[in-house]
Structure 1
Amino acid sequence: MIDLDNQTSLAVDLEALEKIADTLSTKEVELIITDDKTMQELNAEHRGKNKVTDVLSFPMETPFTEQSIFGMPLGSIIIAESFVKEKAVEFGHTVQDELSLLFIHGMLHLLGFDHEKDEGEMRIREKEIIEEFDLPNSLIVRTEES
């Protein structure tokens, strides 16, 4: 289940995102769609990078055993509205497709994947999900092909 906090005017097909979430986890996920200012502040505070980014993931810092016992959420995914719109235009697909791609990327981070440290496992899993939902290539797949 997704707890959506859309702080923007971006149209969201929550049902499409729910289908993706349900294939990856039974845990609740908080999804926040926000503006550049908020995203830059969060990126500076939590990653030490004082710039806007497309997606941030914040896993719940509770041991998985406690999550299963108490039904705690998996974590939070925060997506910048501007990136969704810009990348959709840049790559010639829909806003919903780009939102789905960023959501998948965020979900995988919540599940413990880290493309900055792994040996390509996140990239492989992301590509599998993209193909399963017939979506265009994601950021890390696009980067890999460049």
Structure 2
Amino acid sequence: MPVLTSNLQEEISLEESLILLVEKVVKETLKLEGYSTEAEVGVIFVDDNYIKSLNAEYRGIDKPTDVLSFALNEGEEMPEEEDAEELLGDIVMSLPTAQRQAQEYEHSFEREVAFLTVHGSLHLLGYDHQTEEERQLMREKEEAILNALKITR
């Protein structure tokens, strides 16, 4: 299950431990959701200006956000073969926003990055939060995954 990471920002030092955490979170999310061990996800770390431009271009919202997901197989079923390679898409995360939110929510930076990784991964798998019912389901899945990894507030 390849998790490919890229760092396109220079504001926050990207430690190897954070990259390993993100890989672990993506893998656990995919495993718990029944995806192939060969599924591939990209995680790109960016700054606020970069994610603001993506948010404006793709969502029409001209301000920074914490995480965006770009699914390659939106609306498609996963392959039936267990080992079929599947490119799921990319998660783009603003590390400066994650750092601010960690302070705001009074938990660790690592916990915030893990939460945003789960959130972005679930979007790649087709989950959304446009309605209250969808939001509740997504929140339950996020908490279940973080609890399985023993990542708490």
Structure with greater contact order relative to length (CA < 8 Å, sep ≥ 6): 2
Q: CA deviation at 1:10?
A: 3.3
Inter-partner Cα distance in structure 2 for 1:50 and 1:41: 7
Give the gaps of 5 or more residues in structure 1.
138-146
- Say which structure is richer in helix: 1
- Aligned with 1:114: secondary structure? coil
Q: Match of 1:36?
A: 48
Inter-partner Cα distance in structure 1 for 2:125 and 2:78: 14
Q: Match of 1:97?
A: 111
Inter-partner Cα distance in structure 1 for 2:65 and 2:93: 8
Query: Aligned residues: percent identity?
Result: 32
**Aligned pairs (5 A) from 1:104-143:** 104-117=118-131, 119=133, 120-136=136-152
Inter-partner Cα distance in structure 2 for 1:108 and 1:14: 18
- The CA RMSD measured in Å over matched residues stands at 2.2
TM-score normalised according to structure 2 size:
0.78
- Aligned with 1:74: secondary structure? strand
Inter-partner Cα distance in structure 1 for 2:25 and 2:61: 29
Q: Match of 1:22?
A: 27
Q: CA deviation at 1:66?
A: 6.3
Query: Alpha-carbon deviations, 1:26-71, whole Å to 9, x = none?
Result: 3111001101111111001111111111100010137445696862
Give the gaps of 5 or more residues in structure 2.
31-36
How many equivalent residue pairs?
A: 137
TM-score normalised according to structure 1 size:
0.81
**Aligned pairs (5 A) from 1:2-81:** 2-8=3-9, 9-12=12-15, 13-25=18-30, 26=37, 27-61=39-73, 63-64=76-77, 71-81=85-95
Inter-partner Cα distance in structure 2 for 1:61 and 1:33: 22
